[in-house]
A = this chain, B = another copy of it.
Amino acid sequence: MSKPSIPKGTRDFLPIEMERRNYIFDTIKEVFRKFGFVQIETPAMENISTLMGKYGEEGDKLLFRILNSGNFFDGVSSEKNEIVDIKQLTLKIAEKGLRYDLTVPFARFVVQHRDKITFPFRRFQIQPVWRADRPQKGRYREFYQCDADIVGADSLINEVELIEMLDEVFRKFGIRVAIKLNNRKILAGIAELIDEVDRITDITVAIDKLDKIGLDNVNTELINKGIAAEKVELLQPILLLEGSNSEKLARLKDVLSDSKVGLKGIEEIEKVFTYLNDYNANAEIELDLTLARGLNYYTGAIIEVKALDTAIGSISGGGRYDNLTGIFGLEGVSGVGVSFGADRIYDVLEALNLFPDKSAATTKVLFVAFDSKGIDFALPIVRRLRQVGIACELYSEAAKIKKQMQYANDKQIPYVAIIGDEEIKANSVMLKYMVDGSQRLVSIDEIVEKLSK
């Protein structure tokens, strides 16, 4: 029989990986809670109508759909022409889909439970999402998202707090980052400047690629999208903006002086910078007009975090969306949020060797016996250690000592308590410190005391 496998794009997590993932999630959760965020969870499956049309046409194709149970063809005519209309058929035989992100289920949650929620609602959510994307290095079909959002509050203080939260998380991880800020209203002002307000999406999508494909290619893309060459020319001073944040903003105020929305965006971002003046940030916080994050639903702040010491790039991001819950019939609820890229953060921590130096073992001591007499002798000691909260194990079979020691080694258990006839007679164990190989006979009281530290 060949080895079993799992679907492509999915992963098993071994104990060492789980420990590291838990470190990431625990660190983020601790900060979330310190900022007053509370946790929710939503089901893996949503009604397909909740998901459809929320992620663009491309997104609809990437939804994993769940086949109706039972006779899923009930109600589907078996006439050939209906069978081949895959799109229609799919909607009939698969009425549920797997969560594609946490944002749309959260919007659904807010509308559905609005009577039970206290606004402004600060929620966090850490759950897997599924996308039928082509798997490739660093891109999976199942991955965790880790989101914090504040809904029902317009104040820019919320943007400021999220930025401070990002800063604190990455300070805890020891990852040097740049937090890049932009504002969708500034992008709208730029579109106004060249008199192409209807093309704001095309323009921002192209600008968003500046980092990846370079200025020339962005210009080509804009022209290919039908923006006149002289208008693309007008954009150049903006694309090439340099200097400090305040220099850039001053320059920008000048360029966009005729755009009301543009000036509003500048005012917002200036206010955020002002609030952050007194904050002792670890990260570089900088205005970046090329930041658009390809997403259409941001209406104000756009935020992105880049790791400075690796080529991995964006590891978190977010922004403000003024009408998150409108799609589900609840208007006028503004939200702002950030999302931590757990897989990317894992890769950065690994690449920079920043994971805390702790073994996969939570076990502190393994009891190793020569025979069943030794096991009988060990059992009450094991119980006593656990009673005082010490993680320990008893090798349950009288296997060869070498095998038992190998087990301790593999699991990186720091202490081994060896029990032979001599030890039993002395009511003691031979306690070996695996790190340097030193060992000595210790009484039961002593072992409890020593390992309690």
Q: Which residues of A are at the interface with B, using a C-beta cutoff of 8 A?
A: 1-7, 10-15, 18-19, 22, 33-36, 38-47, 50, 61-62, 64-67, 69, 71-73, 78, 80, 83-84, 86, 90, 93-94, 96, 98, 108-109, 111-113, 116, 118-120, 122-123, 128, 130, 132, 141-142, 150, 153-155, 157-158, 160-161, 164, 168, 275, 278-279, 328-329, 360-363, 375, 379-380, 383, 386, 389-397, 407, 410-411
Task: Return A85 CB to nearest CB of chain B, in Å.
Answer: 10
Task: Return A417 CB to nearest CB of chain B, in Å.
Answer: 13
A15 B123 Cβ-Cβ under 8 A: yes
Give complex CA distance A319, B67 in Å: 33
Most buried by B among A67, A84, A120: A67
What would be 25 A-B contacts, judged by CB atoms less than 8 Å apart? A1-B329, A6-B42, A6-B46, A7-B96, A10-B43, A14-B116, A15-B38, A15-B123, A35-B393, A36-B363, A38-B360, A38-B361, A45-B141, A64-B66, A67-B93, A67-B94, A73-B84, A78-B80, A119-B407, A155-B396, A155-B397, A157-B375, A157-B394, A275-B379, A278-B379
Task: Return A263 CB to nearest CB of chain B, in Å.
Answer: 20
B3 A112 Cβ-Cβ under 8 A: yes
Taking CB atoms, residues of chain B closer than 8 Å to A38 are 15, 18-19, 360-362, 411
Give complex CA distance A356, B232 in Å: 63
- Which chain B residue has the least Cβ–Cβ distance from A1? B329
Most buried by B among A4, A46, A61, A142: A4
